[in-house]
C-alpha cells in the first residue's frame, strides 16, 4: 500500500519525529473522526527522515481534538510505503495530527520550540531565567504589602482607616493574611495540574492567575475588591511556588540539584528587596500622599507574570513528568539536551531509573482530594507518604519560627524601637532584605557540598546565636546602657540573621519537599511544603505583634530557644537527600521507623543488593567530568 492510496486519510506522526528515522503514524479511514494526538488507536511504525520531506508549500491543519493548535503540514514523500492497516498495532503516545490535502497525504509536525534550537548551556540558562521570574513574583508579592500598608491613600481608599491612619487593624491584617489562604489552595490545585497536564502548562495557567490578581489589586477601590484580588493573586503565587521548584529539581543534575534551585531562589530575596526599595522611593512622591505610591507597586508584579506567559511555553517539560505519563522517548530527548547534548551511559542509567519508577507507580496518579487522607494517614498510598507530607509541613513551619517573619515584616518596627528616624528605618529595612540575596548565593555554593541536614542544623545554631546576642544587646539598653553605642550592634545582628537564614533554611525549606515525593505526585506533594510556608508565615505574622508587645526585646531569646530545639528534630527525623537521585530517595522512606538511621540502613542495604541506583549514576557523572576537565580521552564508561 503506497502513500498515494491513502488519500483522504490521516497520518499522525508520533514519538521523537525529526530526531530518529523511525516514527509512528496513525491511519484514520475517510469520514471518521481523528482520535486525537493522545489516542493509542491504530498506530503503526513508518520509517523516514524529516529531511526526506520536500520543501513544498506548507499548509496549516487544525487538529480535531485540539481546536487551539495549528501545525505545519508537509507532503509525505512518495517513496515512503505505508503498511497494511490490517497489521497495525498500538504503541506509545502520538504527537499532533495530520490531514490530507489535494489528494496528497499530509504529515503534520508540531511547531518547532525554541529550546531545541538552544545549546545545553543556553537551555539551562533559559530554564533558570524563567524560574527566576516565577520566584521573583512570589518574593515580590510577599514583600509588597509592607509598602502598601504605609500609604495613606490606600488606607483611605479601601476603607481600613481615615486620614491615612489605620482604625481597623484586624481588617488590615485580614487583607494581608487572606493571600496565604489563596496560596494554600493554589499550591495543591497547581500541583495537581502539574502532575496531570505537565509542569509547563500548569505554570502558564498559574501565571494567568498571577497577572489577573496583580492587575485587580492595583485597580482596587474597596476592601472587598482588594480581598478578592489578594485571593486570586495567592492562587497564582501558590501554584507557581508549588510547581517551579519541582520543575527545577527534576531538570537539574543530581550532584548540583541544590545549587540549581539555590540560584533560582536568589529571585525570592530579589523580589522582596525590589518591593521594599520601590516603596521606599515612591514614599517621596507627593510627600507620600499619591495613589501612585501603592497602585504602581501592586501593578509592577504583573511584569514578571506577563513575561512568564510569553516565554514559558518555549521550554521543555520535565523529563520526570514526561516519563510519568509514558512519553519515554521525549523524556530522554529532554534529558540529553539539558545534560550536555550527548547520550552517555550515565544519562541512560538515569533515564532507565525514571522508566522503572514509572512502571512501578503507573497506576498511582495524584488526586487533589487525597490531600486530607494523606495528612490523616488514611490514604491508600501508605504511611510513608503521610510521613513525607508532615516533614514538609513542619520544615516550613519551623523555618517561619526561626524568627524570619519578625525580621522581614517587622524590621521597621524593630528599627523604630532602636530610635532611628523614619527614612533611616525604611532604608535599613530594605538593606536587611537585600542582604538575603548574598545569603542565597552562599546557599547555592554550600547546599550540595555539605548536604541539606548539615546546613539546616548549622543554620539553626547560627540563628540561635544571633538571636541571643541581639536580645542581650537590647536588654543592655533597657538596663540603662548607652543606646548610641549598643543599638548599632543589635541592628547588625539583624543583618547577620537574614544572611544566615538565606544561606541555609531559606533555600532548603523549599528544596527538600521537591525531592522526597514520587514522580507521579511530586508537584502535588510539594504543596505540603507550600502549605507549611503559608501556615507558618500567616501564624507568625499574626502573633508577632503580640509577642513583641508582651516580651519586647526578650522575644529574641524566645526565637533563639526555638532554633536550638530545631537542631535535634532535623538530626533525628530528616533523612539526607543530597547527591541522591530523585528515584533512589524513595528507599529512604521505605522503613516504618521515622528515624534517620532506619532510612540510612535501608539505603545501604539497597546498595549492597547491587541495585543500579544513584551512586552508580553519580560515579559515572563524576568520572566523565574528570575526564573532560583533564582534557583527556573521549567519554568512556565500562559499567553502570
User: Could you read off the pLDDT of 303-347 as tens digits, one per residue?
Assistant: 999 999 999 999 999 998 888 888 888 888 888 888 887 888 888
pLDDT at 90 over 80: no
Say if strands 59-62 and 165-166 run parallel, antiparallel, or are unpaired: unpaired
Which are the contacts of 525, defined by CB distance < 8 A and separation ≥ 6? 191, 366, 385, 388, 389, 392, 513, 516, 517, 518
CB of 577 closer than 8 Å to CB of 516: yes
Show Cβ contacts of residue 117 under 8 Å, excluding neighbours closer than 6 positions. Answer: none
Q: Which percentage of the chain shows pLDDT scores above 90?
A: 31
Q: For 529-543, how does the pLDDT look when each residue is reduced to its tens digit (9 = 90+)?
A: 989 988 998 788 778
Residue 94 has pLDDT above 80, yes or no: no
Render pLDDT for 131-149 as a digit per residue (tens, 0 to 9).
999 999 988 988 888 788 8
Cβ atoms of 96 and 37 within 8 Å: the answer is: yes
Assess contact for 506 and 444: CB atoms under 8 A. no
Going by pLDDT thresholds of 50, 70 and 90, the confidence category of residue 430 is confident
Continuous segment of H or E residues that includes residue 28: strand 22-28
User: Does residue 4 carry a pLDDT above 60?
Assistant: no
Domains (range + CATH), the chain: 3-110 (no CATH), 120-342+350-369+379-573 (1.20.1250.20)
Comparison of pLDDT for 4 and 504, the residue scoring more: 504
- Other C-beta atoms closer than 10 Å to the C-beta of 15 total 23
Please tell me which of 296-305, 345-354, 424-433, 599-608 the model is most confident about, judged by mean pLDDT.
Answer: 296-305
- What is the rounded CA–CA span in Å between residue 71 and residue 62? 7
pLDDT above 70 for 566: yes
Q: How far is CA 399 from CA 8, 151, 182, 189, in A?
A: 62, 30, 20, 24
Q: Do residues 28 and 42 make contact, with C-beta atoms less than 8 angstroms apart?
A: yes
What is the spatial distance between Cα 155 and Cα 197, in angstroms, rounded to a whole number?
Answer: 41
The strand pairing partners of 100, in sequence order, are 105
What residues contact 422, with CB distance under 8 A and at least 6 apart?
A: none
Q: What percent of the chain has pLDDT over 70?
A: 74
Q: What is the pLDDT of residue 362?
A: 61
Q: What are 403-417's pLDDT values in tens digits?
A: 988 776 666 666 776
Instruction: Kindly tell me the number of DSSP H helices and DSSP E strands found in the chain.
Output: 24, 9
Tell me the pLDDT band of 611, cut-offs 50, 70 and 90. low
As a whole number of angstroms, the longest Cα–Cα distance in the chain is 98
Bridge partners (DSSP) of residue 37 are none
Please tell me the distance from the alpha carbon of residue 218 to that of residue 208, in angstroms, as a whole number.
16
pLDDT surpassing 80 at residue 18: no
Q: Please determine, for residue 279, whether its predicted confidence score (pLDDT) is greater than 90.
A: no
Report pLDDT for 324: 83
Q: Per-residue confidence at 618, pLDDT binned at 50, 70, 90? A: very low
Mean pLDDT, rounded, for 351-361:
80
Please report the pLDDT score of residue 361 as a whole number.
66
Compute the distance between CA of residue 506 and CA of residue 115 in angstroms, rounded to an integer: 30
Report the first-to-last Cα separation within the chain, whole angstroms.
44
Amino acid at each position: 500500500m503506497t502513500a498515494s492510496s491513502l488519500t483522504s486519510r490521516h497520518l499522525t506522526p508520533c514519538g521523537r519525529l525529526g530526531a530518529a528515522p523511525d516514527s509512528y503514524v496513525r491511519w484514520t479511514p475517510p469520514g471518521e473522526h481523528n482520535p486525537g494526538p493522545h489516542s493509542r488507536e491504530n498506530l503503526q511504525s513508518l520509517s523516514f527522515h524529516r529531511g526526506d520531506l520536500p520543501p513544498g508549500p506548507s499548509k496549516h491543519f487544525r487538529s480535531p481534538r485540539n481546536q487551539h493548535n495549528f501545525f505545519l503540514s508537509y507532503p509525505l514523500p512518495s517513496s515512503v510505503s505505508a503498511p497494511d492497516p490490517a497489521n497495525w498495532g498500538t504503541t506509545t503516545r502520538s504527537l499532533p495530527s495530520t490531514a490530507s490535502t489535494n489528494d496528497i497525504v499530509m504529515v503534520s509536525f508540531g511547531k518547532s520550540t525554541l529550546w531545541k534550537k538552544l545549546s545545553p548551556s543556553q537551555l539551562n540558562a533559559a530554564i533558570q531565567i524563567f524560574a527566576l521570574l516565577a520566584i521573583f513574583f512570589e518574593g515580590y508579592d510577599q514583600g509588597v504589602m509592607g509598602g502598601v500598608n504605609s500609604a495613606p491613600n490606600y488606607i483611605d481608599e479601601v476603607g481600613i482607616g481615615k486620614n491615612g491612619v489605620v482604625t481597623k487593624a484586624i481588617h488590615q491584617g485580614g487583607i494581608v493574611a487572606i493571600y496565604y489562604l489563596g496560596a494554600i489552595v493554589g499550591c495543591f490545585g497547581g500541583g495537581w495540574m502539574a502532575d496531570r497536564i505537565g509542569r509547563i502548562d500548569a505554570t502558564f495557567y498559574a501565571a494567568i492567575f498571577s497577572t489577573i490578581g496583580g492587575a485587580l489589586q492595583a485597580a482596587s477601590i474597596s476592601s472587598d475588591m482588594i480581598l478578592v484580588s489578594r485571593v486570586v493573586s495567592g492562587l497564582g503565587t501558590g501554584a507557581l511556588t508549588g510547581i517551579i521548584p519541582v520543575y527545577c529539581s527534576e531538570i537539574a543534575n543530581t550532584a548540583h540539584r541544590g545549587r540549581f534551585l539555590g540560584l533560582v531562589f536568589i529571585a525570592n530575596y530579589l523580589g522582596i528587596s525590589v518591593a521594599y526599595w520601590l516603596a521606599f522611593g515612591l514614599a517621596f512622591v507627593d510627600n507620600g500622599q499619591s495613589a501612585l505610591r501603592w497602585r504602581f507597586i501592586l501593578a509592577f508584579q504583573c511584569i514578571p507574570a506577563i513575561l512568564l506567559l510569553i516565554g514559558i511555553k518555549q521550554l521543555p517539560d520535565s523529563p520526570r513528568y514526561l516519563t510519568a505519563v509514558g512519553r519515554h522517548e521525549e523524556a530522554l530527548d529532554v534529558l540529553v539536551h539539558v545534560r550536555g547534548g550527548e547520550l552517555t551511559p550515565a544519562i541512560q542509567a538515569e533515564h532507565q531509573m525514571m522508566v522503572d519508577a514509572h512502571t512501578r507507580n503507573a497506576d498511582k496518579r495524584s488526586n487533589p482530594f487525597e490531600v486530607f487522607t494523606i495528612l490523616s494517614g488514611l490514604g491508600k498510598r501508605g504511611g510513608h507518604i503521610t510521613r513525607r507530607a508532615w516533614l514538609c509541613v513542619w520544615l516550613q513551619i519551623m523555618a517561619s519560627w526561626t524568627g524570619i517573619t519578625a525580621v522581614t515584616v517587622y524590621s521597621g518596627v524593630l528599627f523604630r524601637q532602636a530610635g532611628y528616624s523614619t527614612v533611616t528605618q525604611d532604608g535599613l529595612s530594605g538593606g536587611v532584605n537585600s542582604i538575603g540575596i548574598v545569603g542565597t548565593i552562599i546557599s547555592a555554593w554550600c547546599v550540595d557540598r555539605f548536604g541539606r541536614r548539615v546546613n539546616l542544623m548549622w543554620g539553626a545554631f547560627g540563628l540561635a546565636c544571633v538571636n541571643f546576642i541581639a536580645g542581650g544587646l537590647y536588654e543592655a539598653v533597657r538596663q540603662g546602657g548607652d543606646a548610641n553605642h549598643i543599638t548599632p550592634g543589635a541592628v547588625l545582628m539583624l543583618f547577620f540573621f537574614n544572611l544566615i537564614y538565606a544561606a541555609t533554611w531559606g533555600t532548603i525549606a523549599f528544596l527538600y519537599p521537591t525531592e522526597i515525593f514520587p514522580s507521579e505526585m511530586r508537584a502535588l506533594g510539594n504543596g505540603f511544603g507550600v502549605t507549611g510556608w503559608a501556615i507558618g508565615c500567616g501564624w507568625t505574622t499574626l502573633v508577632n505583634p503580640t509577642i513583641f508587645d508582651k516580651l519586647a526585646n526578650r522575644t529574641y531569646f524566645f526565637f533563639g530557644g526555638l532554633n536550638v530545639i530545631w537542631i535535634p528534630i532535623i538530626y533525628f527525623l530528616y533523612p539526607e537527600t543530597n547527591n541522591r537521585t530523585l528515584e533512589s530517595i524513595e528507599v529512604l522512606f521505605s522503613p516504618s521507623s521515622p528515624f534517620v538511621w532506619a532510612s540510612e540502613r535501608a539505603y545501604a542495604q539497597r546498595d549492597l543488593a547491587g541495585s543500579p541506583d544513584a551512586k552508580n549514576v553519580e560515579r559515572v557523572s563524576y568520572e566523565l567530568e574528570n575526564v573532560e576537565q583533564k582534557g583527556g580521552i573521549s567519554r568512556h564508561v565500562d559499567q553502570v
